[in-house]
Amino acid sequence: MDEILNNLSLYGYIILAVYSFGGGMLALAGAGILSALGKMDIATSIAVATAANFVGDTVLFWLAQSNKKEVMKYLRKHRRKIAWTNLLMRRYGWMAVFIQKYIYGVKTLVPIIMGLSRYDFKKFVFLNFFASILWGLVVGLGSYYFSSAVRAWFS
């Protein structure tokens, strides 16, 4: 077990960055717990996850906006999620950028659907920047401060 924890503390930031590029909630929560154990640094973990999450969503938006026909081919299997995502965007508008960070299953689809629509790229990047920061702080600090309950559960 110690060897696994040492490897995670050695390669944890790289794993966190790669995983956060496409989502990252579980990885950031794990990094928060490892930070509470003294194996990682919570500030660095939040910064890495936030930056990777911001870049990942921005890239998804840009790819969808610049390659609409190619992207639509891959979305045919996910019609239910697309419909739900459209409802989310209609109901909450710009707040959908913030909300989508916490919903598994549509987290990747919201930037893609917004990219396929005529949503403004600069506005999305602006909102996504602040949504990524808020997401990183909520998930990172939440897992860091509540890790004692998780450690007690596994003990």
Q: Measure CA 105 to chain center.
A: 11
Instruction: Fill in the amino acid letter for 136.
Output: G
CB burial readout 12-21, b (16+ within 10 A) else e? bbebbbebbb
Q: Positive or negative, the Cα torsion across 50, 88, 66, 125?
A: negative
pLDDT tens per residue across all 155 residues of the chain: 567 666 666 788 888 999 888 788 888 998 898 888 888 899 999 999 999 999 999 999 999 888 888 888 887 777 777 777 777 777 877 888 888 888 877 788 888 888 888 788 999 999 999 999 999 999 999 999 998 776 677 76
Question: 84 is written with which tokens?
Answer: 């739900």
Q: Positive or negative, the Cα torsion across 109, 112, 113, 114?
A: positive
Q: For residues 104 and 58, give the distance between their C-alpha atoms in angstroms, rounded to a whole number.
A: 18
Supply the range of the domain harboring residue 75: 2-154
Q: Provide the 3-class DSSP secondary structure of residue 13.
A: helix
Number of domains in the chain: 1
Q: Positive or negative, the Cα torsion across 14, 16, 17, 22?
A: positive
